Every structure is written in C-alpha cells, then in structure tokens.
Structure 1
Amino acid sequence: MAKLVKKSPVPLYLAAAVWAVWAVFAPMYAWWHFVLAAVCSAAAWLLGRKLFPDRVQIVPDEQPPVREPEDPLLQERQRALSELRRLNDNIQDETISAQISHMEEVTGKIFDLVAQDRSKLSQIRRFLNYYLPTTLKLLNAYDRMDQAGVEGANIDGTMGKIGAMLDQICTAFDRQLDALFAHEALDISTDITVLEQMLAQEGLGGVQLGQDE
C-alpha cells in the first residue's frame, strides 16, 4: 500500500487574499506595513492549514497481471512444429524435406483436433510419448550427420536407414490422424443406416427426390 498526500490549495488562497485586501484597505508605504501584512498572511495560511488539512489517500500497490497457466498440449504442439520446421530448413534433401513438411502438416492437425476435443487425448498418448519424439530424434541425428560433411560407412548407413524409415513414419502419422475420426465416422455411419431404414419404411428408399415420376 502507498500513501498519496493531496494538499489543499485553500491555505495559499487565504494567504494571497490577505495581501490583496491589505493592498486595497491598508497602508503599504512603510516597511513595517509589509511585515505586518506578511504576518497576517502567514496567520491566514496557518488557519487555512487547520481548517483544510492535507488529505491522505491509500493507494493499493499495482498488482502484476495474473497469467493463466499455459496449456501443456499447446506448448507441446508449438515445440514439435517449431522443431520440425527447423529441421526442414536445415535438411536439403528434397524428398526428406517433402516428408517433413507432410509430417508437420499432419502433426498440427492431430494437435488441433485433440485441442478441440480433449476426450481424444488418450488416443494420442503413444503418439505423444513415443512416435513423435522418436521421429524428432531420428531427424536430428540425420541433420547432425548431414552437417558433418563427410562420407563414411556409419554416417551413410545410418542416414540411409533413417531416409528409408520416413515413408513408414509418414504413413503412421496419417493413420493416427485418421484414427481420431473413428468415433465420428461411426456416428455418421449409424445416422446413414437409420436414415436409410426410415426412407425404406416411408416408401422413399431408392427414390431420387425432386425428379418427375
């Protein structure tokens, strides 16, 4: 808490008023006239200070803005996409670059779907805890070996294995995204089945509505 002192201007007005009244109604040609006017002015100022004392206001300390806790899922989304983008910028191989771009796009869609429906979070636990971090680990290893700028059995063999694995990884990412639509697909399939049955009961099955009979 901070104290804010607000002084009243009235004492100054009273002191100034004494000089104004004295100049009009009292003599001002001797030095002691000025001294007497100054004493009266000071007395008026002191009286004003008593009648109109300073006002003290308590000002609460400014509270820092409360930051909402960041969503771990959105944090992980940002971290993963940023890392994929960085690796894509570093790796010059056009085929691998295209595969990384595809993984980045699919990964973003996976996170977005789960962010909209948190009940789907359990479906991507293995994706979050193993598939995605392992993929980033492999790509980082490829990037480091590629930046080494030398050829060798270990470097070439490992980079070749990683490159061959990326097609399977892209397919796995696609299937993970597809799996998130399983419940929705089942609901739609059920709706279609019920609709077909109702149309058949009403004698509308197989009829193209809007065409002349």
Structure 2
Amino acid sequence: MTKKVKRSVAPFYLVAALWLAWALLLPLYRPLDYVLAAVASVVAFIIGKAIWPDKTYQIADPEAEKKATEKKEPPKKEQAQTPPEPKAERQSTGDPELDGLLKQRDMALSEMRRLNDSIQDEKLSAQIDHLEATTKKIFDLVVEKPAKKSQISRFMNYYLPTTLKLLNAYDRMDAAGVSGTNIDGTMGRIEQSMDTVVSAFDRQLDALFGDEALDISTDITVLENLLAQEGLSGDQMTAQS
C-alpha cells in the first residue's frame, strides 16, 4: 500500500483573500505594512490548515503487488510459451432485441467493475458492488422473460446511464488529487445520492416480480379454499382432533 496525500488548497485561497482585503482596506506602502500582512498571512494559513486539513489515504502499489506475486509463484516457462486462447464470444440468442439487452448489460457491468477498481472510497465501492449485482439480475430476468422489457425502458435509458455518468464524474474528480469548493461539493453530493440510487435499483428489480407475486398470491388463495372445502385445512383438522 502507498500513502497518498491530497493537499488542501483552501488555506492558499484564504491567504490570497487576506492580501486582497488588506490592499483594499488597509495601507500597504510601508515596509512595516508588508511585515504585518505577512504575519497575518501565516496566521491565516495555519487557521486554514486546521479547518481544511490535507487528506491522506492508502492506495495499492501495483509494483509491490507484482513483485510479491512473482516471489510466491515463479513463472512457468511452458505456460509462457503457450499462446493465450482467444476469448469465447457470446453466442447470439437469435433475437436482435435480446442480443442488444445482453450487450448493454455486459457494457454496463464492465464499466461498473472498472469504476469500482478505480474508486477508493469503501462505502461507495460497496454500493457499486450492490448496483452491479442488482443490474445483472434485472437484465437476466428480462432476458428470461422478454415481455417485461417495457418495464425497464426508463431504467435502461436514464437511470443506468445517469448513474454511470455520476460515478465517472466522481472518479475523474477524485483522480485530480486536489481539494476545492467545486470538487469537494460535487463529490459529496454524489456520495449522498448513491443511497437513493441503490434503493431505486432495488425497487426496479422488485417491480419486475409484481406479476409473479400476484399469480402466487392467487394460487395460494385458491389452494386454501380447496383445502377448506375438502376439510383438509389446518384449522378444520385441528377442530376435528
């Protein structure tokens, strides 16, 4: 693991604001004026550091992991000489619409995995794991029952691409390595919105089971009525005994 420090730029902005205010409101033409302004700048910088400290977090060191893997598993010459097998392409279902769904599913899941590997925040990473699993279940269920495709049109055309857009924006801002009002504020709003997004994805999956739940409820009611007519219900058998 490598320690990475995200320097806060807020203290520098505070010092700049101090000099601007000093030049507008106080005299700044004697050496003593500059000395006082410099002392005030140091104090402002220290206060700014206390309010907006630098952020430190750990990131994986790919070189160290590679060396550790090489030590544990010596390279196998026979495997190195054998050319890799080409990846098996996904077979067509014969239905262009289903093939399109599967392609969109694979692209979305691949992008979620890439973002999850890049984003270091533990809570957000766990939420992306959940979104990936839920998205796969939604698409798989629609592929199994194509009649349900109309129920996920808004999910495919807006909810899913917008979620990926927000996560990509978070990833780019986090990779910038600086702190500021725009970056910190936007990243914070994205983090807060993910709870709502996760809940929305879960509700979309639950809605796809609406017809099945209704059918099962009807079957249970009919079964209970038939058992009651035949004197085989639990309450009747208890009364007879």
TM-score of Structure 1 vs Structure 2, range by shorter chain: 0.5 to 0.7
1:86 to 104, 114, 129: 114
- Where do residues 155-194 of structure 1 align in structure 2 (5 Å cutoff)? 155-194=183-222
Is 2:126 the partner of 1:119? no
Which structure ranks higher in relative contact order (CA pairs < 8 Å, sequence separation ≥ 6)?
Answer: 2
Give the Cα separation in 2 of the matches to 1:74 and 1:178: 20
Provide the C-alpha distance between the structure 1 equivalents of 2:140 and 2:235, rounded to a whole number of angstroms.
40
Structure 2 residue 146 is the aligned partner of structure 1 residue 146: no
Equivalent-residue separation in structure 1 for 2:159 and 2:235 (angstroms): 48
Equivalent residue, structure 1, for 2:165: 137
Task: For 2:205, give the aligned amino acid.
Answer: L
- The structure with the larger Rg is 1
Q: Count the aligned residue pairs.
A: 146
Unaligned runs of 5+ in 2: 1-90
Percentage of identical aligned residues: 68
**Aligned counterpart, 2:128:** 100
Q: Deviations over 1:49-84 (max 9, x none)?
A: xxxxxxxxxxxxxxxxxx957611100000000000
2:107 maps to amino acid: R
- For normalisation by structure 2, the TM-score amounts to 0.58
Residue aligning to 1:197: 225
TM-score calculated relative to the size of structure 1: 0.65
The residue number in structure 1 matching 2:11 is: none
Find the residue that maps to 1:203 and give its secondary structure: coil
Counterpart-to-counterpart distance in 1, 2:205 and 2:126: 18
For 1:199 and 1:156, how far apart are their aligned partners in 2?
A: 63
Name the CA distance, whole Å, in 2 between partners of 1:154 and 1:165: 17
CA-to-partner distance for each residue in 1:101-157, whole Å, 9 max, x for gaps? 000000000000001010000000000000000000000000000000000000000
1:72 aligned to which of 84, 100, 103: 100
Check 1:200–1:208 CA distance in 2 against 1; reply closer, same or farther (3 A cut).
closer
Measured in 2, the distance between the counterparts of 1:208 and 1:97 equals: 54
CA contact (8 A) 2:228 2:236 kept: no
How far 1:208 sits from its partner (Å)?
8.9
Which sections of structure 1, spanning at least 5 residues, go unmatched? 1-66
**CA RMSD across the alignment:** 2.0
The amino acid across from 2:215 in the alignment is D
